Homo-oligomer: A and B are copies of this chain.
Amino acid sequence: MEQSELLAVARGEQPADLMLRNGRIVNVLSGEIEDADIAIAGGRIAGIGPGYAAREEVDLARRYVAPGLIDAHVHIESSLCIPAQFAQAVLPRGVTTVVTDPHEIANVAGIEGIRFMAASSAGLPLSVVIMAPSCVPATAMETNGATLRAGDLAGLLGESTAHGLAEVMNFPGVIYGDDGVLDKLAAYAGRPIDGHAPALRDKLLNAYVAAGIGSEHECTTVEEAREKLARGLYILIREATNAHNLHTLLPMITEQNSRRICFCTDDRIPADLIDQGSIDYMVREAIRYGIAPVTALRMATLNAAEWFGLHDRGAIAPGRRADLIVCEDLLDLQPALVFAGGVCVAQSGELRAVPGTGQPIPAAVASSVNIRWDAVDLRIPAESDRIRVIGMIENQLVTEERMQPAAVRNGLAVAEPARDLLKMAVIDRHRGSGAQGMGFIQGIGLHRGALAGTVAHDHHNLVIIGADDASMMTAARAVAAMGGGLAVADGDAILASLALPVAGLMSDRPIAAVRAGYDALIAAAAVLGSPLHDPFMAMSFMALEVIPKLKLTDQGLVDVEQFTIVPLFVR
């Protein structure tokens, strides 16, 4: 719609496309509830108040109408779904904008992966704002699919694919002024730059902020969050599948500081999105805790819009996008209607239409599994009788480094399920280099069989954990045969599998189907003995060499605190 047409509607001289009558507007600008009609034209809010006519009218019958919710930081890939399918889950929840860091697909498919996320989001009723992944690869102690330097990231800004710079996880690089990192920050100067610096405090925090970082979503205590906010970081309170910070951090919120606080989900699996929700869940919980509803909604709307400079949304005001949610009860936010760009996209939690699905998977993000099978050898010749074992702790990303006796059979170190000692392999699946790291892990709990998958933060190589080599190979082959995904095997049998053919990370099937497939995987793992509520989530972080203490990449075992490769066998 031409600007001049919008103005004619605003003046009341031309009919609006849609009128929402008799709503109680949650005005996040004034902080008040306002009884008024909303006139919508060309997907934007044309006017608020009496005296408008429209081609179509909806009587809100004094229900509340609030701005569409904004997820300030999410990796869509963690939903195991492409954006169109992810949108199916979050739009009915009232989330109309997500600020996403396509960090996972970038590690697999580089710039082309990011462009895929942009292209496959274009035209969706969900606004997908892409931040440029800042740390690809995470370290040099892995093989991944791409290296993104400052010039590459600047290119994304130049082509308007990226809006800002995503979580700068290399906080030592920031603080100590690593040239490559500072170049990236300089390329995004004046744009929003998200941070990621767990537990950073005091002088080093000052340096991180002074470098130009503007937000943080890794706070785990009120004290940490308050210090970071006071130093200038927007606090994005996170409630992810694998990191629950919401209830811990709610006590940090005051009427005075709340303008600098937003909500984000970071990583959520399909079951959580479907059963619990997204930002809507966080708003509900915040209000239940005692945060004033308008304040809670501000954090989920205006505050995020301000941090990211998305001034075309985040409030119900003329000229802004008509991204709106309608709900009966402000104390229990359950969107009865969701409008995105002026179109009603969901009603009573059900999506009205499923756009953007059924597209073929572009070549750049298909066929991402490239393994040199002739180099794969899961056998581990015993070099001593003591090994360095990854000690997984349920619900934590950090691990222990445990020195354990090796189980040696015929000169080979093998798994010993009786003491929960499983074999683990991480195999380069990007470059077909044959690089392969071998180790052992405790905490997964399989009595037999194996798990394999191509979701393994951040490099997303093929990771396999199992009780015997045959099961491990079966699971690995199954994953590769699907072009990436997750599988559970027992001997020669594949017990469950989920294809993730988009970069080995995402399915293009409906999120409900993905959720069902994922549930089946977990059930199969349970049959094999794993007591974990989600052994695949657990597995996906066991290869992440930036979170202490001991992790395994295709380059070998990494002592994260020493930031070096260490041998499996100890004397």
A residues apposed to B, CB below 8 Å: 3-4, 6-8, 10-12, 27, 29-32, 34, 44-49, 51-52, 174-177, 182, 185-186, 202-207, 209-212, 214, 226, 229-232, 254-257, 259-260, 294, 306, 309, 311, 315, 317-320
A260: chain B residues at CB < 8 Å are: 29-30
For the residues of A in contact with B, the DSSP-based class is mixed
| A30 near B203: Cβ-Cβ < 8 Å | no
| A7 near B256: Cβ-Cβ < 8 Å | no
| A257 near B210: Cβ-Cβ < 8 Å | no
Give 14 A-B contacts (CB < 8 Å), ordered by A residue.
A3-B182, A7-B207, A7-B210, A10-B210, A11-B175, A11-B176, A29-B230, A29-B257, A34-B230, A47-B210, A231-B317, A232-B315, A255-B255, A309-B309
A317: chain B residues at CB < 8 Å are: 209, 230-232
| B182 near A4: Cβ-Cβ < 8 Å | yes
Name the one of B185, B229, B319 contacting A210, with C-beta atoms under 8 angstroms. B319
Nearest Cβ in chain B — how far from A122, in angstroms?
Answer: 20
A319: chain B residues at CB < 8 Å are: 209-212, 232
A229 in contact with B29 given A46-B210, A210-B45 (CB within 8 Å): yes
Chain B residue with minimal CB distance to A203? B12
A318 in contact with B232 given A202-B51, A207-B47 (CB within 8 Å): yes
A231: chain B residues at CB < 8 Å are: 29, 48, 317-318
A209 in contact with B32 given A7-B175, A203-B49 (CB within 8 Å): no
A306: chain B residues at CB < 8 Å are: 306
| B226 near A30: Cβ-Cβ < 8 Å | yes
Nearest Cβ in chain B — how far from A511, in angstroms?
Answer: 34
| B257 near A259: Cβ-Cβ < 8 Å | no
Nearest Cβ in chain B — how far from A258, in angstroms?
Answer: 9
A256: chain B residues at CB < 8 Å are: 30-32, 294
Alpha-carbon distance A202/B182, docked complex (angstroms): 48
Most buried by B among A7, A209, A211: A7
Name the one of B31, B209, B230, B294 contacting A27, with C-beta atoms under 8 angstroms. B230
Most buried by B among A30, A205, A229, A315: A30
A32: chain B residues at CB < 8 Å are: 230, 256-257
A210 in contact with B318 given A48-B231, A203-B12 (CB within 8 Å): yes
Chain B residue with minimal CB distance to A230? B30
